[in-house]
Structure 1
Amino acid sequence: MRYLKIFVISLIFSWFSCEEGLTQDSYSFEILGKLKTYSASEIESSRWSIGGETLDRDYADYHAYKEYLGPSGAKRIRLQGGWAKSEQVKGVYDFEWLDKIIDDALSQDVQPWLQVSYGNPIYPGGGEAALAGGIPTSEEALEAWDQWVEAMVNRYKDKVKEWEIWNEPDISKKMTAEEFAAFHVRTGDIIKSIQPDAKIIALGLAGLSRTEYVKSILDILKSKNKLDQFDVLSFHGYNSVPERSYSAVAKLRKLVNSFNPEIELWQGENGAPSTPKGQSVGAMTKYDWSETSQAKWVLRRMLGDMGHGVDVTSIFQISDMQYAKGDHFAGLNSKGLLKARSDGSIERPKIAYRAFQNMATVFSGEISKIENADIQNDNEDLMVFAFHKKDKKGGAITLWKAEAKPTDSMETEMVNFHVTHVKFKKPVFLNPLDGTVYNLNEENYAKKGNRIFFKNIPVGDWPVVIVDKNWIDLNN
């Protein structure tokens, strides 16, 4: 493949309203229209999840953003159960706040996966209600934990199918892997005794390179004949260049397969800020970000995960958050796909929200990577995958430049490449940043035997999609 030239596409972003979202000047291709996106209730199944974390500490307001949940296209939402929020007086549970959230999500056909966490300081040795805090350790606190988990599972067993035990235990200095494994077994026993068919999501691992930590816990569970409490390994592992995560993901896959190849891999929490350096707290805030670079990053994480065989991807998160003093950090966490005001109310969707919607629609349903697709290109930094969709004719190809952190630049390179074992009846070109669909004509692609040659395709540091037209619908 040979690069023909470099040119700049000027994208003029302007907000018409929260409902209309972005518009932009077109590529040189003929515009066919805007992608029609679908709400969760219109999508039968998908791999996409959205984060609804920190509601247990009131850092975001579910009821401020709930109108955007179903329309996002996500079929799952990750929630934290909040022991300290639900039990503020010993032995007295108030689940009303969580009832409203779970019931509303389900009414929008979004399935909650519910995390049991964090500690509860009303009990001596009860741990902290904060990230990186400790698990309950005293006899009184552990008994109280057991009772709270039992009450939770009994309350939601007909509504919640997937339970996650704790969050990022590997970054806490207040417990060893052995101590957490015992705590995991204790909690898993309660969940399974009440809901035998529950799917248990394990670890919410912060560090992708901590394979020894994962192995030590799996060894303990295996020795106790408790591997049935490890249906899913959930990992996080923030990286400003998301593609640099996948060698570690492959090692995790190999490890869990050695114990049980049926264990799924979920990317349970990943997102990028949308503000310049110093204006947000949390992961990756030492870099400058914007709403444009955030949206590019989200697209690269979603499609990179899918291309590398990750079973479920959850983007952190739907709304900006305001962390309080006394937690791991304090201040604005701008990783939301929705721009929130300081009181939690929603100002508007960001570019990343629209980008998420677009991918959640196009890549809904049963998507499989075309493993034998032969895609010939000469740039090792070009990330290219081909996919098939059950019950749809033709395929889809995603491609982007992956050598560096996404920027605000819309510079692209015109590339030529050819593929085999990927069928297209009528390929079209989709820019998922704004959902514009463009026509590809004979100047851009040609079929020769079992090969399809693509010519003059603009590629930058965000994914674009060449997809068979029968996969998509356009707005009238």
Structure 2
Amino acid sequence: MKYLKIFIIVLFSLLYEKGLAQENYSFDMLGKLKTYSAKEIESSRWSIGGETLDRDYADYHAYKGYLGPSGAKRIRLQGGWAKCEQIKGVYDFEWLDQIIDDALSQGVQPWLQVSYGNPIYEGGGDAALAGGIPTSEEALEAWDQWVEAMVYRYKDKVNEWEIWNEPDISKKMSAEEFAAFHVRTGDIIKSIQPDSKIIALGLAGLSRTEYVKSILDILKAKNKLDQFDVLSFHGYNSVPERSYSAVAKLRELVSSFDPEIELWQGENGAPSTPKGQSVGAMTKYDWSEISQAKWVLRRMLGDMGHGVDVTSVFQISDMHYAMGDHLEGLNSKGLLKVASDGSIEKPKISYKAFQNTVSVFSGEISKIEKAEVLKEVNDLVVFSYTKKGVRGTAITLWIGGEKPEDLMDTELVNFTITHTKIKNPVFLNLMDGTVYALNEDNYTKNGKVLSFQKIPIGDWPIVILDKDWLELVNN
């Protein structure tokens, strides 16, 4: 029975790629959405994960040809103290130079994390997730020197620095110990690059508001809140919409210290393999390329709808964690499938879905806060937006509330939305980028009140938007 289920999941993914399992919309197809590379996009909120390169769990040079075309304007990288300094006092930055220079050449801005520990020093901490920070005098002095060397080296290329990753899941340090370590590191970064942006915590648990508050209290007491420009959070949930009440509490907390602190979703993704075939978050569930792509879309557009400033999808390629780390084995959260020899076997469905979303929702996007929705489906998620320099609005819709599934089932939904104006509405399936003309009997307009009838909606986001938002290519 188990193998039959896996076979069905794989079959649906293959069928979807061939367009056979896709919803057969009754609308007339206009063409495919044109996607843009990072160089063609001036600015956006979208980032892609390039983590674990410091431990060689992924290969940047295998996937770099897919980075710029993804459209992501940022890539999250880990600096890797233990990889840079394998002999005491001797730094090898060549591996990181190549990555940073190549990303920049493709129009993708790195944000660089200083982490993890370095076991060549006694008390140097662990070069692994959930490990400890350096604690001995020798190791702390070596850490300071490495951070200083890194910031000096990249200060003309990198302006956004993240201090450590998920310290809240480590049992080897207290919040107070990490706060002191954060201040120590932040002082070095700001002394060399005063206008830099410091990204704090990489918080694993969304509900750990007391942990965040304890860090902020210490920084405030030390007059170091300028080292907390951004709170980055992770918080994996198989139903993305269930994260946002906790995100709202985090926003309220950081705003009580400084309303200018930004909120970045720094690391989130879903596996693409059935239960038992991947390590990491959410692997107790069955996943496929289809459900992964749906999840990625819901996370991206859910973040945008709830005012998250930057969203980073974890990550661009599959990873293979090594023995001795917090995890061991394949982590299939990549948007690119990795072959056994480390090469890229193919882009997954989620890669195309990411491209489509980035291409539509880059630039200066503003949520229409006054928009109100009358709907017949309780779990229907609806947001509407304007885009600077583009006429009309865009409406994102999906049915949330449950984990995304592999079937492409839809239901016909009626809804009315206010304060939204679309002159020439079209229907965009973000999964594959197909654009359809809406029939006149599917919508009515009364000024800025739009009523839609019999719109096929499933558990993944689609967009109804003014055609002016899009550039089409022939199918």
Fold match by TM threshold 0.5: yes
Q: Is residue 22–residue 434 contact of structure 1 (8 Å, CA) maintained in 2? A: no
d(CA) in 2 for partners of 1:419, 1:446: 11
Letter in 1 for 2:371: A
User: Paired residue for 1:13, among 12, 15, 24?
Assistant: 15
Match of 2:255 in 1: 257
Encode CA deviations 1:195-233: one digit per residue, 9 max, x unaligned. 000000000000000000000000000000000000000
CA drift at 1:342: 2.8
Match of 2:404 in 1: 406
Letter in 2 for 1:175: M
Q: Does 2:269 correspond to 1:271?
A: yes
Letter in 2 for 1:38: Y
Encode CA deviations 1:391-413: one digit per residue, 9 max, x unaligned. 11100111111110000011111
Runs of 4+, deviation exceeding 2 Å: 10-16, 21-26
d(CA) in 2 for partners of 1:462, 1:449: 29
Q: Structure 1 residues 407, 25: closer, same or farther in 2, change over 3 A?
A: closer
CA drift at 1:250: 0.2
d(CA) in 2 for partners of 1:226, 1:94: 31
Partner of 1:13: helix, strand, or coil? Answer: helix
Match of 2:348 in 1: 350
1:157-196 aligned at under 5 Å gives the runs 157-196=155-194
Match of 2:302 in 1: 304
Deviates more, 1:274-283 or 1:334-343: 334-343
Match of 2:115 in 1: 117
Match of 2:40 in 1: 42
Q: Is residue 79–residue 115 contact of structure 2 (8 Å, CA) maintained in 1? A: yes
Match of 1:217 in 2: 215
Match of 1:151 in 2: 149
CA drift at 1:449: 3.6
CA drift at 1:240: 0.2
Q: Does 2:448 correspond to 1:446?
A: no
Q: Structure 1 residues 12, 118: closer, same or farther in 2, change over 3 A?
A: closer
d(CA) in 1 for partners of 2:278, 2:34: 33
Q: Is residue 13–residue 289 contact of structure 2 (8 Å, CA) maintained in 1? A: no
d(CA) in 1 for partners of 2:66, 2:352: 11
1:54-453 aligned at under 5 Å gives the runs 54-453=52-451
CA drift at 1:453: 1.0
Q: Structure 1 residues 337, 453: closer, same or farther in 2, change over 3 A?
A: same
Match of 1:4 in 2: none
Q: Structure 1 residues 25, 250: closer, same or farther in 2, change over 3 A?
A: closer
d(CA) in 2 for partners of 1:370, 1:335: 32
Letter in 1 for 2:150: M
Partner of 1:372: helix, strand, or coil? Answer: coil
1:455-470 aligned at under 5 Å gives the runs 455-470=453-468
Encode CA deviations 1:394-448: one digit per residue, 9 max, x unaligned. 0011111111000001111101111111110111000000000000121111112
d(CA) in 1 for partners of 2:288, 2:311: 22
Q: Structure 1 residues 167, 12: closer, same or farther in 2, change over 3 A?
A: closer
d(CA) in 2 for partners of 1:266, 1:12: 34
Match of 2:7 in 1: none
Encode CA deviations 1:325-349: one digit per residue, 9 max, x unaligned. 0000100000000000133210000
Q: Is residue 11–residue 25 contact of structure 1 (8 Å, CA) maintained in 2? A: no
Q: Is residue 323–residue 332 contact of structure 1 (8 Å, CA) maintained in 2? A: yes
Letter in 2 for 1:314: S
Encode CA deviations 1:155-196: one digit per residue, 9 max, x unaligned. 000000100000000000000000000000000000000000
Encode CA deviations 1:32-57: one digit per residue, 9 max, x unaligned. 00000000000000000000000000
Q: Is residue 321–residue 344 contact of structure 1 (8 Å, CA) maintained in 2? A: no
d(CA) in 1 for partners of 2:71, 2:241: 24
Match of 1:5 in 2: none
CA drift at 1:13: 3.4
Partner of 1:415: helix, strand, or coil? Answer: strand
CA drift at 1:317: 0.1
Q: Percent of aligned pairs with the same residue? A: 81
Q: Structure 1 residues 39, 23: closer, same or farther in 2, change over 3 A?
A: farther
Q: Is residue 23–residue 434 contact of structure 1 (8 Å, CA) maintained in 2? A: no
CA drift at 1:12: 7.7
d(CA) in 2 for partners of 1:136, 1:344: 32
Q: Is residue 24–residue 434 contact of structure 1 (8 Å, CA) maintained in 2? A: no
Q: Structure 1 residues 14, 240: closer, same or farther in 2, change over 3 A?
A: closer
Q: Is residue 11–residue 24 contact of structure 1 (8 Å, CA) maintained in 2? A: no
CA drift at 1:11: 9.5
Unpaired stretches in structure 2, ≥5 consecutive residues: 1-11
Deviates more, 1:340-349 or 1:456-465: 340-349
Q: Is residue 336–residue 348 contact of structure 2 (8 Å, CA) maintained in 1? A: yes
Letter in 1 for 2:15: F
d(CA) in 2 for partners of 1:344, 1:467: 40
Q: Is residue 322–residue 342 contact of structure 1 (8 Å, CA) maintained in 2? A: no
d(CA) in 2 for partners of 1:396, 1:22: 28
CA drift at 1:24: 4.9
Q: Structure 1 residues 305, 127: closer, same or farther in 2, change over 3 A?
A: same
Partner of 2:472: helix, strand, or coil? Answer: coil
Query: Superposition RMSD on alpha carbons, in Å?
Result: 1.4
CA drift at 1:271: 0.2
Unpaired stretches in structure 1, ≥5 consecutive residues: 1-9
d(CA) in 2 for partners of 1:59, 1:420: 48
Letter in 2 for 1:230: F
Deviates more, 1:354-363 or 1:435-444: 435-444
